[in-house]
Structure 1
Amino acid sequence: MFSRIGSHLFRIIHGFQRRGNNPSEIMDGLETLMVTADLIERILTEQIMAATEEVTIPLRYWVDDKKNRVIMVETSGDFVDILFSFLTLPLGTIIRLGNKLEQHVQLGCINKLYQSVDNLKYDDFWNNICNKMLLSPRNPLESSCERLKVKIDDTEPTKYFLCHTCSKEKDLLLSTFDGARCRCGKLMRKETKLLVESKEELASKNGVFVKPNAMFLIFDDLRVVRSSPSDSVKTFLKHRHKDLSKIPENSQNVGMKEILSILKQALISKSPLSDVLLKSGSKKYSCSQDTGPIHSKGHVEIKVMVSKSENKILFAEADGDFVDFLVSFLTTPIGSIVKLMKGRLCLGSIGNLYKSVKDLNPSWFIGSSKESLLNIRVAPHFGCKSNPLEEDDSPQYWYGPVVVKDNEGRIMISKRKDMLRDPTKVKLFDPRSSDGAREPIVGFMKRPCLFIVSDDLEVIPMTTDSSISYLQQLGNVKLNDLEEHFIKVRKSHEALDLLRASLTSNEAALTQSLFSLLWLCQRCIPFICVLGSRHKIKEKKKKEKVIISDKRHDERERDKK
C-alpha cells in the first residue's frame, strides 16, 4: 500500500519542482494530489473491511449418525497448516489465548503456574522483560506461523532494537525487546528492520508447512493423511459403511473461534473434531506413563515437606534454579514435549498430530518444514539450563546498508552478510541480562531468592511473604505430622516426570512425580542399616578372634617359661 502511495507523492513533488509557478501545471499537480487522496481513502477502506471480515476455511466432513461421530474431514493444506501449528505453541501461549478468548484451556497444574507467574512482582525477576517472556512466550517458528490463513497466536511479532549511543560502534548488541539495557547503561530503543531473504518466508501465498494445492484427510483423533480414494474406502469400511450415498456429508466454514475450540479439545480429547463440529461429548482415554530413558546431565536440589498421614508432598522450598526450571515450562512448545516424551503422553490427540507429521511423505511439505516441526526447540533465550529441552541456537546477525533490490540503501539487519554493504557484526544478547554482560544461563528469577512451591505448582516468593502465614494457610496441619526431605531433581528422569505430571495432574504435580523418590529412600534405609549391622557383627567377631588368639599365645609363652 505505502509503495503505491509513495510513488504518487514522489511524482507530485517532482512535478511541482519541475513546473515552477505555471498555473496550469500547478492545477495538474493538484488534480494528481486529489487522485492520490482518493487512492489512500480507498486502500484504507479496503484494509479496514478486510480486518473486520473474519477469515474462514471450508471443511467437508462425513458423519456416523448412529455414533454421532465425525468419520473424517477432507480439506486443503490451509487447515492442515493450522493443525500442525498447534505443535509450535508454547504452553504459556495456549493458556493466555484460552483466557483471552474465553476458551478456558485446562492443562493440569500449568494453569496455576501461569497464574502465579502473573501474580509475581517485577522485583522477583531480573527485570520486567522476564515477566513478559513467560506470559507471552515466543513461538520458535514465528516467521512461518505469521503466514497462516487463520492466525490464532496474537503474540506480538519479534522486533529488533539497537542502542542509539552504540549504533555506530563495531561491537554492537541486538535486542528483541524494547527497553533492554545496553552495556553502556542506556536503553535499547532504536528499532531496526530484519531483511527477509528466505524463499520460504517470501512465499506467503504458497502455503506454510504443507503444499497448499494438496487435499488431506483428517480423522476424528487428528490423524492426518494425504487424501486418496483408497484411504477413503478403507476408512468408510472400517466404520461399516458400504454405501457412500447413505453417509451424510456436511460442510462448514471454520474461523478463529472453532479453531481455538479444536485446539482446546485436542489437548483433552480423542475426538476433538466431533466435539467441536457436532458439539458432542469427549471420549475418555488412557495412556502409558513410561517415557523411556532420556540421557541428560545436571540436577537441582529442593527441600520438600511431607504429610506422613496423607502420604503427599505439601510444598517444596526451592531457590531460583528450580523455579526457573518450573516457569520455563510456560515457554516450552507442546510439540517439543511430545517428542521428549517419545509420543507417550496423556495429552488428548496432540500426539497424533506429531505422528502425522512424522508419517507424511516429505514431498508434501514445503522445504524443510517437516524437520522443523519434528524438532521444535525452545526459542532462543526463553529456556533455562535445568530444562531438559534445549534452546534454538541464536542466529548470527549483520547490520548495514542493503544492496538488494526493493530495499537498496536502507539500513537493516540480516542473517546473510552478502545482502549488506560493509556489514557490521551484531550480537543477539539475552534480554534477561541487565547489562548484556551477565551469563545467559541465569534464567528468570533474581538471585538470591527463596520460593515456596505448592503441590499444584503455585509459586510464592518468601522474600516478602511470611513463612508462618503460609503454614497457617495450610489449614489444620499438625506440625508433628510434617517430615522434611531433600530431593535431587535430575534432568534425565525426575524433571521429565515433573513436566508430565504438571500437564496431567490438576492438583498434585509434586506428589505424583517426586513422592516415589521418598519411598525408595525409605526402603533403602533399613537395607543399609542391615548391611551396617552385619558389617559390625563381622568386625566384632574378628576382634574376638584376635583377642582369643592373643590369649592362647600368652598362655603358650608362660608354659615355656
Structure 2
Amino acid sequence: MAEISEEPKFTLRLIIDEEKNKVVLAEACRDFVDVLFSLMTLPMGTIVGLLKKHQKSEIGCFSNLHNSVAEMSIDSFMTGACKEMLLNPRSVKDADCKRLKLNLNPNDDGLKYFKCPFFSNCNKCSDFSGSDCACGSLMEHEIKLTEDDDHIQNDVDGVFVSGRSSFIITDDLKVSVDSTGLVLKTLNSLGCSDVSKLGEQLLDIGLNEIMRLLECVFYSNTPLTDALLKKQSPQDMTNIHKLLLTPSCLKETKTEVSEESEFTIDAIVRKQDTKILYVECGEDFVDLLFSFLAVPLEYVCDTSLGCTGNLRRSFKDLTVDKRKEEGLGSKCVLPHYYKCQKQVSVITTEEAPLYYRYRNSNPRQPDYSLTRDCDRTLLYRKDRIVPVIVIDPKSPSHHGRDDNGSGFVKRGRRFTVSDDLIITTRGCLSTSICFLKKYQIKGEDVDVHVIRIREAEVMNLLRASLGTSSALNSALWNMIAKKPKMET
C-alpha cells in the first residue's frame, strides 16, 4: 500500500491560454490565499533561509546579510540570543500564521519563555533560551505559558481573509474576490475574450510548489506560469527588480529627523566614477542593517514594484489590519526584542508583554506557569500572582533591563560593509589594505566621504537590498555627489 502524505495540499483551477502556454487566471480557495498572503508577513531572514534550503537560490543583498550574521564570531554579538534572533527571525504575525493550513515559517514552534534557577526571586523571563538573567544565571528552563482564550478562534473566518470562499489570482499575482464581472473584465484586458481558446487544469499545490512560487515572485513577471505551469528555473528568467531598482526609481523624501535616528558612516569612494567601494561604520549602523533581516516582506517591497508590489497591494486591500486602527498602519512593527538603542521611526517595536507567574498546586506540573490574565481566579489564588519582567535578551546580565534597548553587536567596535552588504568586523590596518588590493586600486585614487543616513536613505537601502547586488550605490549614489570629501 502506498504511503499517504500528510502534507497539506490546495487545489488550484488554472485557466490557461493553450496557444501561449500561459496562465491567464487561477481560482483559489481562501486557505490558499491565506498562505499566499502569509508571504508578506515573513521576515526577510526567514525567506532567505527558505529559499536557500528549498531552492538553492539567493535574494539581492539579504542573503549576504544573513551569511554575515552566520559567519560573524559569537564574540562580536552582545549575547548568544542576538545571533539566534537574526538567523531565525520572528514576526508579530507568528501567532496568526500558526492557524494557517500550511505554515511556511520553519522557526514557528510556538511562544516559549525561559527562566533561571532562581526565578522565584528574580521574577524575570526571556523569549530565548540561554539569555543572561540579571542575577548572572542562564535562563535555560522553559516555563509554561497558559494560553489565553482570546487567541482561540473558530474556522468561520480565515487568517488574513474572511467571509469568502473563492478568489481569482492573475499571473502577476493580483488577488481579487471572485466575481463574473471581474473575470470578464480581466479576460478582455488580457486579450482572451474568446474563451474557446482557453483550457482548464486542476493542480494540487503543496510545499514544493509554494517554495517555487516564492522564488519566482522575485524573479519573474509571470510567477504562476513559470512556477506552476512551466516549472521554470529562475536562471532562465529576467530579474525584473534589477530593471526597476535603478537610482532614479528610488524615492527621495524629506522627513524631520532627530539625532537619535541619524547614522554617520565613512564611505570609501573611487574617484574615477564616484562608486562606493565599501563603508566603515560603528555598531549602530550594523544593528540597523542586521535588523533588516527581521523586517517582513510587506515593508521591503513597494506597491509599484512588479509582482511583489501586486501581492502587497492585494494584501493591504483584502485584509483587515488592526495596526491601521492603532495608527501604526504605515510602520513596520517588530517583536519587542528587536528594539535597539538607535532606530528609525518607520521600524518600531512592540512593547514587551506583561505576564504574571503563579505556582502550580499539582506536583505533576512544573513549579511555575505564566499567564497574561491576572483575574482568572479559578486557576489560582490572587495572592499568589506576581508580575514578571520579560527582559531584553540582547542585554548582558550585568546591564540588567534596558528600556531603551541594546544593540545586536558589541559596543565600541568598527565594521566594514561592502556594496553588496557583506559585513565584517574591522580588525586593523590590514583591513583597508585588503580592500584596496581586492579592487586593484591605489590609495591616491580613493576619497573618504562622511555620510549621514536618515530615514529616507534607510528605506531606499532596505528596498535596494531586495532587488540589486549593489545596495549601497543604488541607495546612496545621490549623497556621494552632494558630499565633499573628508578633510585630512
For Structure 1 versus Structure 2, the TM-score category normalised by the shorter chain is 0.7 to 0.9
* Aligned amino acid, residue 169 of structure 2: I
Which residue of structure 2 aligns with residue 22 of structure 1?
none
More helix by share: 1
Contact 1:78 1:212 (C-alpha < 8 Å) held by counterparts: no
Structure 1 distance, partners of 2:367, 2:194, is 64
In the TM superposition, what is the alpha-carbon distance from 1:469 to its structure 2 partner? Answer: 4.9
1:515 aligns with 2:483: no
- Say which SS state the counterpart of residue 106 (structure 2) adopts: coil
Pairing 1:290–2:246 present: no
Equivalent position SS for 1:168: helix
Shift of 1:465: 8.4
Structure-2 residue corresponding to 1:484? 448
Aligned residue number for residue 353 of structure 1: 311
Q: Is the 8 A contact 2:332 2:348 kept in 1?
A: no
Q: Give the counterpart of 1:498 among 434, 437, 461.
A: 461
Question: What amino acid maps onto 1:161 in structure 2?
Answer: F
Equivalent position amino acid for 1:179 in 2 = G
Whole-angstrom distance in 1 between the partners of 2:194 and 2:367: 64
| 1:130 counterpart = 2:82 | yes
Answer yes or no: is 1:249 the counterpart of 2:200.
Answer: yes
Contact 2:436 2:442 in 1 (8 A): no
Query: Aligned AA for 1:309?
Result: Q
Q: 1:429 matched to which residue of 2?
A: 391
Describe how 1:311-390 pairs up with structure 2 within 5 A.
Answer: 311-338=274-301, 343-344=303-304, 346=305, 348-360=306-318, 368=322, 377-384=333-340, 385-387=342-344, 388-390=346-348
Cα 1:291–1:475, aligned 2, differ >3 Å: closer, same or farther?
closer
Q: Which residue of 1 aligns with 2:174?
A: 223
Distance 1:237 1:382 in 2: 48
**Corresponding residue of 2:70:** 118
3-state DSSP of counterpart to 1:443 = coil
**2:356 counterpart SS class:** strand
Decide whether aligned partners of structure 1 residues 186 and 522 sit closer, same or farther in structure 2, where only a CA change above 3 A counts: closer
Q: CA separation in 2, counterparts of 1:130 and 1:431?
A: 7
Note the C-alpha offset of 1:53.
2.9
| 3-state DSSP of counterpart to 1:139 | coil
Whether 2:85 is the aligned partner of 1:142: answer no
* Correspondence 1:397 to 2:378: no
Percent of pairs identical after alignment? Answer: 32
The one of 99, 120, 145 equivalent to 1:194 is: 145
Change (3 A) 1:389 1:185: same
Alpha-carbon distance between aligned partners in 2 of 1:296 and 1:252, rounded to the nearest angstrom:
51
Amino acid at match of 2:27: E
Structure 2 SS opposite 1:381: helix
Please state whether the residue corresponding to 1:129 is helix, strand or coil.
Answer: helix
Answer yes or no: is the 8 Å Cα contact 1:93–1:136 preserved in 2.
yes
Deviation at 1:394, TM superposition (A): 2.2
Indicate the larger mover: 82-91 or 435-444. Answer: 435-444
Quick one: structure 1 residues 194 and 463, their matched pair in 2 at CA, closer, same or farther if it must change by over 3 Å? same
How far 1:303 sits from its partner (Å)? 1.1
Q: Are the equivalent residues in 2 in contact too, given 1:88–1:333 (CA < 8 A)?
A: yes
Secondary structure of residue in 2 paired with 1:317: strand
Q: How many angstroms apart in 1 are the aligned matches of 2:285 and 2:220?
A: 31
TM-score by structure 2 length?
A: 0.85
Q: Which runs of 5+ in 1 are unaligned?
A: 1-48, 526-561
- Tell which structure's C-alpha radius of gyration is larger: 1
The correspondence for 1:78, drawn from 31, 48, 51, is: 31
For the 8 Å contact 1:209–1:369, the answer to whether it is kept is no
Shift of 1:132: 0.9
Say whether 1:453 aligns with 2:453: no
Inter-partner Cα distance in structure 2 for 1:296 and 1:419: 45
Contact 1:305 1:313 (C-alpha < 8 Å) held by counterparts? yes
Matching residue's letter, 2:474: Q
Question: Is the 1:87–1:373 Cα contact (8 Å) retained in structure 2?
Answer: no
Distance, in Å, in 1 between the alignment partners of 2:354 and 2:290 is: 27
Cα separation, partners in 2 of 1:202 and 1:248, compared to 1, 3 Å: same
CA contact 2:131–2:139 (8 Å) conserved in 1: yes
Instruction: State the 1:237 CA deviation.
Output: 2.4
Quote how far apart the aligned CAs of 1:351 are.
1.8
Distance 1:239 1:510 in 2: 38
Partner of residue 87, structure 1: 40
Secondary structure, in 3 states, of the residue corresponding to 2:375?
A: helix
Question: Number of paired residues?
Answer: 458
Q: Is the 8 A contact 2:115 2:141 kept in 1?
A: yes
Report the CA distance shift for 1:292/1:278 in structure 2 as closer, same or farther (over 3 A): farther
Q: Report if aligned partners of 1:432, 1:440 keep a CA contact under 8 Å in 2.
A: no
Distance, in Å, in 2 between the alignment partners of 1:294 and 1:282 is: 37
3-state SS in 1 of match to 2:348:
coil
| Superposed displacement of residue 231, structure 1 | 1.5
AA aligned to 1:128 is G
Distance change >3 Å, CA 111–CA 465, structure 1 → 2: farther
Distance 1:397 1:204 in 2: 28
What secondary structure, in the 3-state scheme, does the structure 1 residue paired with 2:13 have?
strand
Please tell me the root mean square deviation across aligned C-alpha atoms, in Å. Answer: 3.0
Residue 67 (str. 1) matches residue 23 (str. 2):
no
SS of corresponding position for 1:377: strand
SS at 2:81's partner residue?
A: helix
Q: Using a 3 Å threshold, how does the CA distance of structure 1 residues 413 and 295 change in structure 2: closer, same or farther?
A: farther
Are the equivalent residues in 1 in contact too, given 2:334–2:347 (CA < 8 A)?
yes
1:513 CA displacement = 1.9
What is the alpha-carbon distance in structure 1 between the residues aligned to residue 164 and residue 365 of structure 2?
Answer: 34
Cα distance in 1 for partners of 2:277, 2:405 equals 30
Structure 2 Cα separation of the partners of residues 437 and 224 of structure 1: 45
Per-residue Cα deviation, 1:196-243 (whole angstroms, up to 9, x for no partner): 224454436853222376111111111111111221222222233344
Does structure 2 conserve the Cα–Cα contact (< 8 Å) formed by 1:401 and 1:410? yes
Q: Give me the whole-angstrom Cα distance separating, in 1, the residues matched to 2:213 and 2:436.
A: 42
TM-score (norm 1): 0.75
Distance 1:294 1:149 in 2: 41
State whether residues 451 and 479 of structure 2, in contact with CA within 8 Å, keep that contact through their aligned partners in structure 1: yes
The one-letter code matched in structure 1 to 2:70 is: D
Instruction: Give, in angstroms, the shift of residue 456 of structure 1.
Output: 1.3
Q: Which amino acid aligns with 1:232?
A: V
Partners in 2 of 1:488 and 1:337 — Cα distance?
21
**Distance (whole Å) between structure 2 residues aligned to residue 65 and residue 294 of structure 1:** 51
